[in-house]
Amino acid sequence: MNGERKEQRPVVSPARTQAGIYPTLARVPGAQLLFVGPLACTRHGLISTLQQLHGRIAFLCLTDTEVATGRYLDKTVRAAQEVARRRQAGCLILITCCQNALLGTDYEQLTARIREETGLASGYLEVNRLALYAKGKLPLMSRPAGQLVYEFLAPREKSPRPWVNLLGPAGVEPDSEADAFLRAAGVERVRTPERCADFAAYQEMAGAHLNVALTHDAEETARELEGRLGIPWLPLNAEYDEGLLECQYTRLGEFFGYDAAGWLSQRRGRLAQRLARLQKALPSGVEVDGRNTGGALALTRWLWEQGVPVERVLLDSFSSPEDEARAWLAQQHPETALCRQTYRPAINEGCPAQARRGTGEARFPTGYERFHQVLDQLMGEREERER
Amino acid sequence: MDLPPFSPDSSGFASALSGTDGMGLVDDVRGCSGNYYGSEETRRGIPVRVFVSQLGNEDAILGTEGVLLRRCGELAKQLAPEFVLLCSSPIASLIGTDLEGAAGRLGKQLGLPTAWVDLSGHDSYEVGLSATLKVMARALSQPGQTLPGTVNLLGPNYLDWCNEDMAALRGWAEQEGGLAVTAVYGGEARLAQLRESGRAAVNWVMSASGLEAARWMKEQYGIPFFRGAPFGADWAAQLLTMAGSGREDWTPPVPGTGGGRALLIGEQYACDALRRLLYGRLGFSSARVCSFFRMDRACMLPGDCRLREEGELTELLKEEYDLIIGDPMLRRCGPHRGRWIDLPHLPVSSWLWSDLRPRLLGGAADRWLAAELGRDDTEEE
């Protein structure tokens, strides 16, 4: 069946730019999530949330009668009140599912009612999996979940000293390359939602001098925040493209009056040295797994440029389109098969061990870290042994 | 508010079909069968037998039958199933797809026994499991001359029971009780076995989810049934005897005189069997069986109850018990007094503790309980 692996070959994946809806929304400190829908929908993606999000998420499972009679509207408000009463909430996010694509509930109005009844800042996310077969022409969500993470920021005065927000997925640690660069450029405080101790600290992010978009998806959020909060933004999201990455770092440095040349030359040198050391040991063929993430085709292109043939790229409905890299591949290396996994595997694969009792989000690499992460995947153990 | 949503009816449908030589199709968007394969199916390496029709926006407007028939046709070519069952999920049930009509047309198109199960994706797993087993009996079994000494096992399933017990069940019944098992409804039933199940001498209902199928077969074929999960050496032996005679049914257990109080939360028949163990082996004087899932009234004792919401369990936990047995996730419902022994239940806590589900079949339940009670529980509390 399409998507099955026929032979063992090294598999590499691009940095994970997307996480599940629940963990993404739970990045807002103090946010309470309330999923409203039938049992069949509220059970989705449950395994990852059972432990990690305990106390952060509640489910309102509707009967078909409640849906048919519209009683679910009042019930949703009552459930929100109960969440507000029983849990220390900074804000409330309603999540709903495909069935609402048919019902057409006015969630703007419903969340306004909830704000009125509970006094809590409220937002919502509608998920419509019916759009999965629209070949990317229809959004799966009423807005990107990553964008909703910043919805509760309200305009406020700029901080006296330079603060920067890193916009993108979770897992950007304070010792990331982006953090190191910004500190070198004189930035006093670098924030992500999960680095904020509580909802009040999170709201201080609105006083930042600059937003840095770490992924392509985050650019839309950055634009929205620029319009709403007046925070300018710059990208640091070059996917496996050294030239573009250097440009982005240079512009970022310029914003703070910092000459990035020396810093960049150091990073460039380190990557080049590692590549030179590994050149002979790099595998003669790899597979790229781009399911549930973006940047797979850009990674494929970079691998080819390093002399590593890519035999196959696995994609799915959640992979990003990457038109430019796709066109380059079609022209330069048409032998690379792009496989879209439409059907689930014919054999039940079971649950990955780490999912059983939960592990934290993986570290998200920034800047040159992305290249090193790929080399770690390809060579990690072998390189370690050789040393 | 502290508990996760329980397994939906579509998971019960998937569980009933998963080990068979049939095929199931949930008429809905991608993800509805993913609940089962993503959170509840613990048998690695078994063939996937349940799929979704993969509805899109246009199908929701123009009707889902076309896409359903097309998808079934494609999948049937790949899997060569012996029969096909269809069911609805939230989208298709809301727009009112005529699955009965679709099943009729599909049956003609494929030349296979085909039927539909009336589900909506709004109910919990045991509703789906129960309805699916009944439809399997109605659509696939055939009447005929009774086969003396034969028994159908109705309702044992991979959501309520651990995999090892499910795998051992048929052999255990044949070896320990000398029974000739015709079909295991809820386990790895083949079409040939299901066809012959209409001729069995007796039906053994092993979980509350098997009851509807048993009642239907009693009405249609006159097959008598009896109830009870064969957990605990004494109760299992009694049930094996009942299977041989085909004339007795569930009887209330006799409390012990030791004075202990227990609360058991989970699948009704399983908890009832463990209650017998507490009464008979440990002398407990009182044990209540409660469940968030449908219960068989005929097998309830005073004090037993169906829990409608988690607040009801919070209230129950405030009472004095010496022992509570239930899924570890249920501890979230509030502070409790007395010893708590974890009995993971997939429809509640998904795969999270599935590897810790104990073997209970026959004497295994006695050994499990003895081991649990002998263990120092201070680290667990």
Closest CA to B113 of B153, B83, B80, B150: B83
- Specify the range with the lowest mean pLDDT, choosing from A163-177, A216-230, B41-55, B232-246: B41-55
Q: What average pLDDT does this structure show over A13-25?
A: 83
Which among A54, A98, A356 has the least Cβ separation from residue B90?
A98
Does pTM surpass 0.80?
A: yes
Beta strands, E only, A275-330: 286-289, 310-315
Confidence of residue A249 (pLDDT cuts 50, 70, 90): very high
What interface predicted TM-score (ipTM) does this complex get?
Answer: 0.89
Hey, what long-range contacts does B368-375 have (CB within 8 A, 24 or more apart)? Answer: B369/B274, B369/B277, B369/B278, B369/B281, B369/B282, B369/B341, B372/B341, B373/B282, B373/B339, B373/B341
Closest CA to B146 of B89, B82, B223: B223
Q: Please, which residues bridge with residue B23 across strands? A: B84
Contact A48, A70 (CB under 8 A): no
**Would an 8 Å CB–CB cutoff place A203 in contact with chain B?**
no
CA-to-CA distance for A193 and A206, rounded, in angstroms? 11
CA-to-CA distance for B325 and B329, rounded, in angstroms? 12
Q: Write down the pLDDT at residue A302.
A: 93
pLDDT of A115-157, one tens digit each?
A: 999 999 999 999 888 877 766 677 788 888 889 999 999 999 9
Which among A50, A62, A101 has the least Cβ separation from residue B349?
A50
Which among A1, A40, A58 has the least Cβ separation from residue B35?
A40
pLDDT of A365-375, one tens digit each?
A: 999 999 999 98
Give contacts of B351 with chain A, Cβ < 8 Å: 47, 351, 355-356
Confidence of residue A348 (pLDDT cuts 50, 70, 90): low
Closest CA to A61 of A85, A49, A79, A87: A79
Q: Which of B2, B9, B93, B351 to mutate to test the interface with A (most CBs of A within 10 A)?
A: B351
CA-to-CA distance for B91 and A180, rounded, in angstroms? 49
Q: What is the mean pLDDT of chain A?
A: 86
Residue B360 Cα to chain centre, angstroms: 15
Query: What is the torsional sign of CA B38, B43, B44, B49?
Result: negative
CB-CB under 8 Å, B94 with A44: no
Query: Could you tell me which residue, A382 or A105, shows the higher pLDDT?
Result: A105
| Strand (E) or helix (H) holding A51 | none
Which among B90, B329, B351 has the least Cβ separation from residue A38?
B90
CA-to-CA distance for B124 and B327, rounded, in angstroms? 16
**Would an 8 Å CB–CB cutoff place A50 in contact with chain B?**
yes
A343 has pLDDT over 50:
no
**Would an 8 Å CB–CB cutoff place A157 in contact with chain B?**
no
Q: Write down the pLDDT at residue A7.
A: 52
Which residue does chain B place closest to A139, by CA atoms?
B57
**Would an 8 Å CB–CB cutoff place A46 in contact with chain B?**
yes
A353 has pLDDT over 50:
no
Task: Kindly provide the b/e burial profile for residues A118-134, where b requires at least 16 CB atoms within 10 angstroms of the residue's own CB.
Answer: bebbbbbbbbbbbbbbe
CA-to-CA distance for B114 and B23, rounded, in angstroms? 10
Q: Write down the pLDDT at residue B180.
A: 95
Residue A268 Cα to chain centre, angstroms: 26
**Would an 8 Å CB–CB cutoff place A356 in contact with chain B?**
yes
Q: Write down the pLDDT at residue A294.
A: 82
CB-CB under 8 Å, B45 with A44: no
**Would an 8 Å CB–CB cutoff place A86 in contact with chain B?**
yes
Q: Write down the pLDDT at residue A331.
A: 92
Q: Write down the pLDDT at residue B380.
A: 43
**Would an 8 Å CB–CB cutoff place A98 in contact with chain B?**
yes
Query: What is the torsional sign of CA A25, A26, A28, A33?
Result: positive
A321 has pLDDT over 80:
no
Give contacts of A38 with chain B, Cβ < 8 Å: 8, 89-90, 120-122
Q: Coil, strand or helix: which one is B148?
A: strand
**Would an 8 Å CB–CB cutoff place A82 in contact with chain B?**
yes
Which among A42, A98, A103 has the least Cβ separation from residue B29?
A98
Spell out, as residue ranges, where chain B has pLDDT lower than 50: 378-381
Q: Write down the pLDDT at residue B381.
A: 37
- Specify the range with the lowest mean pLDDT, choosing from A58-72, A246-260, A267-281, A310-324: A310-324
Backbone angles phi, psi at B42, to 5 degrees: -100, 0
Alpha-helical runs (H) found in chain B: 9-18, 34-39, 57-62, 65-79, 90-95, 99-110, 125-140, 163-177, 191-196, 211-221, 233-245, 268-282, 310-317, 346-349, 364-374
- How far B59 CA lies from chain A's nearest CA (Å)? 9
- For chain A positions 163-182, those within 8 Å of chain B (CB to CB) are none
Contact B21, B82 (CB under 8 A): yes
| Strand (E) or helix (H) holding A102 | helix A99-103
CB-CB under 8 Å, B124 with A39: yes
Token code pair at residue B43: 């048998």
Q: Name the strands in the sheet holding B261-265, side by side, starting at the edge strand that comes first in the sequence.
A: B305-306, B286-291, B261-265, B323-326, B339-342
CB-CB under 8 Å, B47 with A47: no
Q: What average pLDDT does this structure show over A166-187?
A: 94
A17 has pLDDT over 70:
yes
